[in-house]
Amino acid sequence: MDVRSRNHVTVTGRSGGPVVMLAHGFGCDQSMWRLVVPALERDFTVVLFDHVGAGNSDLSAWSRERYSTLNGYVDDLLALCRELALGPVTFVGHSVSAMMGVVAAAREPEAFAGLVLLAPSPCFIDDPETGYRGGFSAEDIEELLESLEANYLGWSGAMAPVIMGNPERPELGEELTNSFCRTDPDIARVFARVTFLSDNRADLAEVGVPTLVAQCSTDAIAPREVGAFVHARIPGSRLVTLNATGHCPQLSAPEETAAAIAAFAGGTR
């Protein structure tokens, strides 16, 4: 299958410029980047795509077997890099896509000029034995998944505003709710388990490309302790704490987010 069609690839920006590839998180699609793209496309070739099962991707390409682990998405990402043949990319992964970038860069480092991990979490579940704090107990996550599986639309309406934060700007939570609700519930249930149950802590040390960890000042989904953990485990990484709040700074603070991406991507050349 043509991976450009499968993942609804869009390439924009400066032809021949350094390449920035933007990857969306759970329940979203490439439109979530629309506010940062204008600031990036002046200096960079910008690649946007939808994960299979999201947005305008080819839904017929989705299978429970392939996409019930992170590896199916990582395989797609690496296939995209090969198919586009634009040279090493600076991969910007939001939320669960940050860990896709981590695994992909560990597997094929030559495909990447660098990684920007935006609001990343290698493991959402607390691990009392090691002292790791992911922000949620195992019981919290199981309850979240049970609620999602029982009533996905109701879960979306309740959880999206919490994930987005910024309660003084309810239109942001509404946009995320609508994005969640556009996702096929059966696909969302499988992707949710991939998102909230994956544990990629051990993969962080395998990253050998320049990496920027960009966390938000307040984030109900990925607390600052998580960003500090990711930074500490990825050799030579940089950590920046955005003034942005919530889990989706590309919507709540697009100028600040774009500036952080551009400053890093421009320096990886």
User: Any idea which residues carry the catalytic annotation?
Assistant: 95, 219, 247
Length of the chain, in residues: 269
Shortest CA distance to 51 belongs to which of 239, 191, 255, 256? 191
Shortest CA distance to 124 belongs to which of 225, 222, 239? 222
User: Tokens 């992909």 appear where?
Assistant: 104
Sequential DSSP letters for 27-94: T--GGGGTTTHHHHTTTSEEEE---TTSTTS-GGG--TTTTSSHHHHHHHHHHHHHHH---SEEEEEE
* Residue 131: other Cβ atoms inside 10 A: 8
User: Tokens 């920046």 appear where?
Assistant: 240
